[in-house]
Amino acid sequence: MIKTTTSRWATIAAVIRVLIVAEAISFLLAALLHTGIQFPLGISEPQNTVAAIVEGLCGIFLMVSAYAVFARKTWGWRVAIAAHIFAVAAILLGITVIALGNNPGGDEANNIFHRVILVVLLIVLTGLLTPGVRAILGRSNQALQPHRP
C-alpha cells in the first residue's frame, strides 16, 4: 500500500516536472513574440517591451525551477512555488492590463494564452502544495539521491 501511494505521488511529481518545462517554454516563446518576431504560419504579436520582459522573467524563473526539480535540488520545491506565484501574479497583471484596454494591438490569441497558462499554473501550483509532491520535491530529495562519500 505504501509503495503504491509513493508511486502515485512520484508519477504526479513527474507530470508536474514536465508541466513546469512546458510553462517555461511557453513563457519564453510568448516573450519572443512580444519582441515583434514573427513565427512560422504567420504567428505574431505587436511589439510590447514590458510584456516581453515580464514574460521572459517568468520563463527564466520557471526554467530555473524546472532545473531544480529535475536535478532534485533540496531548494527545488521552494523555487518552484516562488516561480509559480510570480508567474500567476504576472499573468493576472497582464489580464488586468488587457481588460483595461491598455494592450497595444493584442489579439484574441494573446487573451487565450493568458487564460490557459493561468489555469495550468494554478493546477501545477495546487499539485506542488500537496503533501506527497512536497515530500518528493522538497527537502526529502536528499533521501532520494544516491549517497556520495
> Tell me: the pLDDT tens digits for 85-129?
999 999 999 999 888 877 655 677 788 899 999 999 999 999 999
State the DSSP string of 19-81: HHHHHHHHHHHHHHHTTTPPBGGGB-----HHHHHHHHHHHHHHHHHHHHHHTT-TTHHHHHH
Is 86 contained in some domain? yes
**Is 69 contained in some domain?**
yes
Domain of 8 in residue numbering reads as 2-144
Q: How many independent structural domains does the chain possess?
A: 1
Please state, as a whole number, how many other Cβ atoms lie within 10 Å of the Cβ of residue 45.
Answer: 24
How many CA atoms, within 13 angstroms, populate the side-chain half-sphere of residue 146?
2
What's this model's pTM, rounded to 2 decimal places?
0.83
Identify whether 149 is part of a domain: no
Q: Using 50, 70 and 90 to split pLDDT, how confident is the model at 4? A: low
What per-residue confidence (pLDDT) applies to 40? 79
- Cα gap 121→87, rounded to integer Å: 8
Distance CA 88, CA 94 (A): 10
| pLDDT for res 145 | 47
Query: Does residue 21 fall inside a structural domain?
Result: yes
Report pLDDT for 147: 46
CB atoms < 10 A from the CB of 83, how many?
29
Quick one: CA dihedral 33, 35, 112, 126, positive or negative?
Answer: positive
Has residue 81 been placed in a domain? yes
Q: Is the pLDDT assigned to residue 2 strictly greater than 80?
A: no
Does 33 fall in a domain?
A: yes
Residue 133 above 50 pLDDT? Answer: yes
Rounded Cα distance between 79 and 117, Å, is 19
Give the pLDDT of residue 146.
47
For residues 49 and 148, the model is more confident at 49
Tell me if 41 is assigned to some domain: yes
Does residue 139 belong to any structural domain of this protein? yes
Map residue 100 onto helix, strand or coil.
coil
At 45-95, the pLDDT tens digits run: 778 899 899 999 999 999 999 999 999 898 999 999 999 999 999 999 999
